[in-house]
Amino acid sequence: MLEEKLGDEAAGKMLELYDSAPFPDSMQGMLPNTNVLLTPWIAAVTKRDEIFRAGFRILLAGCGCGEEAIAMSKLFPDALIVGVDFSENSIQRAKNRADECGLKNLSFHRADLTQQKDFQGFEPFDFILCHGVADYVSDPDELFKTFKLCLSENGVLCMTVNSPNHPAGRIRKAFRELGIDPANFTDSTEQRRLLQLLDKLMANDSGLVGIGNSPKAYLDVDIFAPIAHHHNLSAWNKMAENAGLFFVGSMDAVLGLTKVTDAELPMLFALGKTALSFWMSELCRRPGIQMLFTNQPSKEPDFTNLKRLFEYRPKLDACLGVLPPLAGSHEEAKQLTIRFEGLPDFVVNAKAYDLEVLRRCNGKSTVSEIIDEIGLSGDEESLRAALYRLYHYGLLDLTGL
């Protein structure tokens, strides 16, 4: 009961903070909003060729002053975009901004994401982006229930949160150990100097360089927030599962794999999509977590069993639909590079032979049948590595499981 009361109080305090300094205006341009850059990855990982088609419904959950929604609206003019936030002041600013830009495919509404009744009137959404919100809600289980209610049958939820490695936890601990209560951050000269020192000491490792000079309004809602869950990936996944949603991928696996060579890859073959994400997330300790959930569970191919693997029917994602034609000798090594603007390059090293197999992937023939069709023997291990990478980057569907 007491916990409930404290939760309510803290939630009220969060609302007060966001309402008095709407986000991201409170950042005074210090943080670039790069969330929309996640969309090519999302489109690929979720294998939804038709993503962001006409009439596609996108929910920006916790939209703040509407910056993300406006960027999305310009990027996907045929989609219908809805932004919600529990801060009236933020919603008002978002509406004004959209009017100024003359954008017609978006609307903004005041709604509390932990209250399902606030969402009864909305049609299901095909894509929900919830960036930088879940850490600060009093009851994240309720948040997932709302998402379950709002997500269309084939919809995708992208949630980004701060991980347990986010610098906020270290900063709060350092303050406490020096006798300053982080719950009462006043931004006195003494506290600001301490923050600047911590910023310098944590340096690049923090993922948030320049935090020492951030505006107080931002520090209040991020570093010294009354609610800041900072759970790990598996805790978020558990909550999603309880609400009936399924984990389909994280940037941890994608970014981690870019550092793994083909020779090292077999050590990871036993890890399925979920296991690889959890493993990378715990190991690489990035400050943020970007996760995707859907309404349907995905099946895991067995990469340890080459014979079984080659019985699957692979289908390349639309963004790889047109691969370069094979030129020169089959023995010649080629490099296929998949680039997504604004994100680190996803590099798939594929030999010409692998490339030809991939090029013929159509979802109907098995890998073995395609190999037979080409009529040349190739290096099965390098082909397995190429398939593994593409599968984990979300660019390959392996049907017939």
Ligand X SMILES: C[S@@+](CC[C@H](N)C(=O)[O-])C[C@H]1O[C@@H](n2cnc3c(N)ncnc32)[C@H](O)[C@@H]1O
**Span 154-173, contacts to ligand X by CB under 6 A:** none
How far, CA to CA in Å, does 316 sit from each of 224, 291, 349, 387?
Answer: 45, 22, 16, 10
Assess contact for 293 and 157: CB atoms under 8 A: yes
Q: Which of 113, 233, 239, 370 binds ligand X (CB under 6 A)?
A: 113
Give CA–CA dist 62/54, Å, rounded: 23
Q: How far apart are CA 82 and CA 179, in angstroms?
A: 45
Q: Which residue reads 């370069």 in tokens? A: 324
Nearer to ligand X, 33 or 382 (CB): 33
Cβ-based nearer residue to ligand X, 103 or 357? 103
CB atoms within 10 A of CB 12: 12
Residues 73-112 within binding reach of ligand X (CB under 6 A): 85-87, 90, 112
**Binding residue (CB under 6 A) for ligand X from 21, 64, 76, 257:** 64
With contacts defined by CB under 6 A, name the span among 64-72, 191-199, 373-381, 388-396 that binds ligand X.
Answer: 64-72
Using rule CB under 6 A, residue 218 touches ligand X? no
Q: How far is the CB of 191 from ligand X (least distance, A)?
A: 21
CB of 282 to ligand X, least distance (A): 25
Q: Shortest gap between Cβ of 103 and ligand X (angstroms)? A: 17
- Stretch of 16-24, 100-108, 261-269, 345-353 lying at the interface with ligand X (CB under 6 A): 16-24
Nearer to ligand X, 23 or 310 (CB): 23
Q: Which residue is nearest to ligand X (CB)?
A: 62
Could you give the string, one character per residue 22-61, with x where binding to ligand X holds by CB under 6 A and - elsewhere?
Answer: -xx--------x-x--------------------------
B/e letters for 167-201, b = 16+ CB within 10 Å, e = fewer, are: bbbbbbebbeeeebebeebeeeeebbebbeebbee
Least Cβ distance, residue 331 to ligand X (angstroms): 49
In whole angstroms, give the CA distance from residue 311 to residue 401: 9
Residues 130-159 that bind ligand X (CB under 6 A): 131-133, 136-137
Which residues fall within 8 angstroms of residue 92, CB to CB, at 6 or more apart? none
Q: Which two tokens stand for residue 258?
A: 């870019």
Size of the residue set binding ligand X (CB under 6 A): 22
Among candidate residues 356, 350, 357, the one with its CA nearest the CA of residue 333:
350
Choose between 61 and 276: whose C-beta lies nearer to ligand X: 61
288, β-bridge pairs: 162
d(CA 28, CA 38): 23
**Site residues (CB under 6 A) for ligand X?**
18, 23-24, 33, 35, 62-64, 67-68, 85-87, 90, 112-114, 131-133, 136-137
